[in-house]
Amino acid sequence: MSKYKIGIVGATGYTGSELLRLLIHHPDVTIEFITSESQTGKNVSEIHPHLMDILDMKLESVKNIDNYDVDLVFLALPHGVSMSFVKEHGLSKFITIDLSGDFRLPSKEIYEKWYKKKHSAEIYFKNSVYGMPELYRDTIRNARLIANPGCYPTSTILPLTPLIKYDYIESKGIIVDAKSGVTGAGAKAKPGTHFPDLFGNFSAYSLLNHRHTPEIESVLHDYTNLQTEVLFTPHLLPIDRGILTTTYSTPKKPMSVELVEELYYSVFEKEHFVRVFDSSPSLKNVRGSNYCDVHVTYDPRTNKIITVSAIDNLMKGAAGQAVQNMNIIFGLIESTGLEQIPLNP
């Protein structure tokens, strides 16, 4: 059987680097091109030294990709840039998996409100499928444009979906407390991610207006058909990678620990990349892997259901989930190329 041909547009950031790590030895694909506008002509191992003697490939300009015949392209581009690529190239030549936020939201109006920039390719919203396999596997199979989920939304939507879908909780007034490693901010240096500011520090940011809020609410609403309201507060951890997310919600009916635990084991028992834990998960147990570890419990004193989830933001929160989506589209076993054991310690 011939291998599927893929390309990566924007291969020099953290997500592009992680895609390369996963796809170099993927048994069913070949990497035909990798692009970078700022590093065109350089060998990728000059930018990512960990790939020395593993991948000897030149970075090209995106202007050259029409010279290649590929089945699928990953867009590891900033928000606002992916939409221009899709507008220029369309969806007929190859399948596109977009790791930016440009096509995750339901409409141009919502995007422009939260991202504070104009959307230039609104006609493609109708073609976009939200790339969370555990929720949209059947529609992902035949999609031409996949909006790969954000890292915070992945760590929030997966644990909350069973509670909302099966009518266990009030769908409004949900509290989401999330903490991320600094790679979630991207590879470019910023004042808030400068080592002297970050090391030994811990802070909340984007209170009340983080752009992942409408993504979480809209996907939960779309999947459960219930209007959902979350108060989402992100925090920056002084670590490189990983997200730990805690949610608090109010039951709609008499509840017990046994009842919620039984729900989660039932819902996720056939999901390869969601592991239900009897105790609170930790980031080191998912580091470098595509797993989402989830714990759920109930506090009778406050009458709250609590979930805790852990993901690697560069894997299940980005590149790993993108490869999982690719596997579904190509009809491959979903875990192909994604069987990395978490790095612990």
Q: How many helices (H) and strands (E) does the chain have?
A: 10, 13
Per the annotation, the verdict on 151 as an active-site residue is yes
Helix (H, G, I), strand (E, B) or coil at 118: coil
> Of these residues, 22, 47, 147, 151, which one is catalytic?
151
**How many CA within 13 A on the CB side of residue 264?**
27
What's the angle, vertex CA 296, arms to CA 294 and CA 301, rounded to 5? 155
Start-to-end CA span in the chain (Å): 39
Token digits of residue 104: 């995750």
Phi/psi at 98 (nearest 5 deg)? -100, 120
Token digits of residue 13: 């950031």
Q: Are 58 and 33 in contact (CB under 8 A)?
A: no
Residues identified as active-site:
151
